[in-house]
Amino acid sequence: MPVWKLLTLTATFAVALGGSACRGRDAQLHQAAQSVESIRATTSTVAMAWLAGELSDRFAQDAVARAFQLAEQTRTELSSSPESMADTRASAIVEDCQHLSRLLSHLSDSIQRHDRAAAQDALVDVSAPFASFQ
């Protein structure tokens, strides 16, 4: 096989791999953004049900603790490499996860103290996205 054909095939293969890597990163970022939105929605539902007296303190605490774990898992997965953090979309989601984790901590503390006013304040903040995924 002539060298130019081999180089063309190699270049074509490299572009194909690079394109699928980009699609892979896009898919990872999209999935992470969806996870964050799901965590927000679930936490909001749990908090509203707790505020309405429909859930026990224990159940609400456990659900918020699990939401915290998921937010931290998402943050850790996205911030695991310098290449990942160089992507502004990834760093925006990481910042969103950090902010959400802080809010979840406040919500958990509010539930533990039976402070419905503080839980209501935390709920408003949890429901509002910190950063948008573009």
The 10s digit of each residue's pLDDT in 27-53 is: 989 999 999 999 999 999 999 999 999
Mean predicted confidence (pLDDT) in 81-88: 86
26, 69 contact by CB (below 8 A): no
What pLDDT band is residue 126 in, cutting at 50, 70 and 90?
confident
CA triplet 105, 116, 107: central angle to 5 degrees?
A: 10
Mean predicted confidence (pLDDT) in 6-13: 41
- pLDDT averaged over every residue in the chain: 82
Residue with the two structure tokens 């159940």: 59
pLDDT surpassing 90 at residue 75: yes
- HEC sequence for the chain: CCHHHHHHHHHHHHHHHHHHHHHHHHHHHHHHHHHHHHHHHHHHHHHHHHHCCCCCHHHHHHHHHHHHHHHHHHHHHHCCCHHHHHCHHHHHHHHHHHHHHHHHHHHHHHHHCCCHHHHHHHHHHHHCCCCCCC
The reply to whether the predicted model has a pTM over 0.85 is no
